[in-house]
Structure 1
């Protein structure tokens, strides 16, 4: 009979293994609820802007945080068609600035990062300098940029704002690309060199496809930061190169602040970077995780 008695150790192990999935499930639910609450709190300004954009002016004055009792599209009509407010041009300016900045940053950052990481050009201090430069606030560069661009005739121009945003976002691109490039085995490039491939062929045919997720992540971040730029746009543009972030301020008039129109302009200007980030989410996550410690 003693041979049929259950082993206490095995019984405890079996009970523990049964409780483990339940604990993991409960932990997953806790993390999901906490993440949902954090996401809701973080997006309160956006949600409030959406609500206000559909409210008549009278409702906004009475209670700006309630649900719209009489939804209206008047504010969106004012943004898109009101005289004196050229939202399509502001939108186009922002698109040209953001896309132009992404292209220039990638064209500069990819060969520069390869030269530093693989060819040892300039030493490791370049990456450290880029990291330190990215930590400086943008306001630190405003006055020098204003003087320089005024002298060069780049003030209130699309190329000028592209150059300013490139300078601000280039260190971030170099940091992310260098981290991803170090994850690529150097033996791949050595094998290509044995087969007679030049540095340019290796970079274009081997390295770039492997860096694609990080390049997408860099593109998304640079696009969002350039699209949302307000400081450089405020100082370096007046009328011709005004982006949507600055154009929304046109609804602050001498007779008052048109909150509904500002909210509608803000909601419309949020759509491109939001859709871009959603579309590239898979590449964004994998690109940002490149260089992380794996264990």
Structure 2
């Protein structure tokens, strides 16, 4: 083997080693949380860590409020709140964002300046926005309803949805709609029957990202939402008490929260990959 090939092989091995190392570092917190969720309560933070133990579902029973006791007794209501908010925000963002993105792509509104403005809007830190949104929903009198989170999440995620939709619709030439109009379709029919189905992979990927972002959001849910509209991330924090942090039930709750996004990602990953690659040629 020549020296050049040896150096190339060494470089590839080093690259794979670095990738595997970072992958292990990224996965380890998830692994630790999964193991902690099935440990007996007294062994969760034993020093040194105990790896030989009998797995138990006691923490999951506490997280789900076994016997109607504890914070977990309200877990079905928290799950329903998270589902309602995430689904409504996803639908509203897809409808409004796709319409705005299509308009910017077809009519070149603002050229490249307007899409950048939407992108900058997405870059604002959530901590900067939480107080204005809190005052708005309070003055509107909707602070104790899921509508407060739906409106807040829609406004926060809409810039991202518009910008991504704009980049997707740039990939479709005007001739597609013109051909549909020659066949008798109106402008709206051409968009609904031709363009939207062609862009379905991209729109589904946007919907998945928006849904997961809303499902996992904590700051707004803990600040704006009332006691009756708590979502699952807030429910996990309820295991932090004045006396102690109940790590076992908390990690079990976090594993249950991750279940829905994990299933969505597993079954719809092809749409995420194809959707992200759709806007790679333009925009």
Q: So what's the TM-score if we normalise by structure 2?
A: 0.89
CA contact (8 A) 2:168 2:199 kept: yes
Counterparts of residues 51-70 of structure 1 (less than 5 Å): 51-63=35-47, 65-67=49-51, 69-70=53-54
CA contact (8 A) 1:54 1:68 kept: no
1:272 Cα deviation (Å)? Answer: 0.3
Counterparts of residues 1-295 of structure 1 (less than 5 Å): 33-63=17-47, 65-67=49-51, 69-82=53-66, 83-85=69-71, 86-121=74-109, 123-293=111-281
Compare 224-233 and 155-164 and name the one that shifted more: 155-164
CA contact (8 A) 2:62 2:70 kept: no
Change (3 A) 1:293 1:28: farther
The CA distance in 2 between the partners of 1:68 and 1:166, in whole Å, is 46
Alignment root-mean-square deviation, CA: 2.4
Query: Structure 1 segments of 4 or more deviating over 6 A?
Result: 22-30
Compare 276-285 and 115-124 and name the one that shifted more: 115-124
1:61 Cα deviation (Å)? Answer: 3.5
1:257 Cα deviation (Å)? Answer: 0.7
Change (3 A) 1:233 1:181: same
Compare 247-256 and 34-43 and name the one that shifted more: 34-43
Change (3 A) 1:99 1:236: same
Structure 1, residues 130-179: CA drift from partner, whole Å, max 9, x if none? 01101111111111101110011121321211111111111111111111
1:58 Cα deviation (Å)? Answer: 1.5
Structure 1, residues 75-105: CA drift from partner, whole Å, max 9, x if none? 0001112413211111111111111111110
Q: So what's the TM-score if we normalise by structure 1?
A: 0.86
1:64 Cα deviation (Å)? Answer: 7.6
Structure 1, residues 210-241: CA drift from partner, whole Å, max 9, x if none? 11110111011001100010010011013111
Count of residues in Structure 1 that have an aligned counterpart in Structure 2: 277
Segments of 5+ residues of structure 1 without an aligned counterpart are 1-14
Segments of 5+ residues of structure 2 without an aligned counterpart are none
1:196 Cα deviation (Å)? Answer: 2.9
1:124 Cα deviation (Å)? Answer: 4.1
Structure 1, residues 227-282: CA drift from partner, whole Å, max 9, x if none? 01001001101311100100111111122110001000000000101110111111
Change (3 A) 1:184 1:87: same
Larger Cα Rg: Structure 1 or Structure 2? Answer: 1
CA contact (8 A) 1:51 1:65 kept: no
The CA distance in 1 between the partners of 2:11 and 2:82, in whole Å, is 43
1:195 Cα deviation (Å)? Answer: 2.5
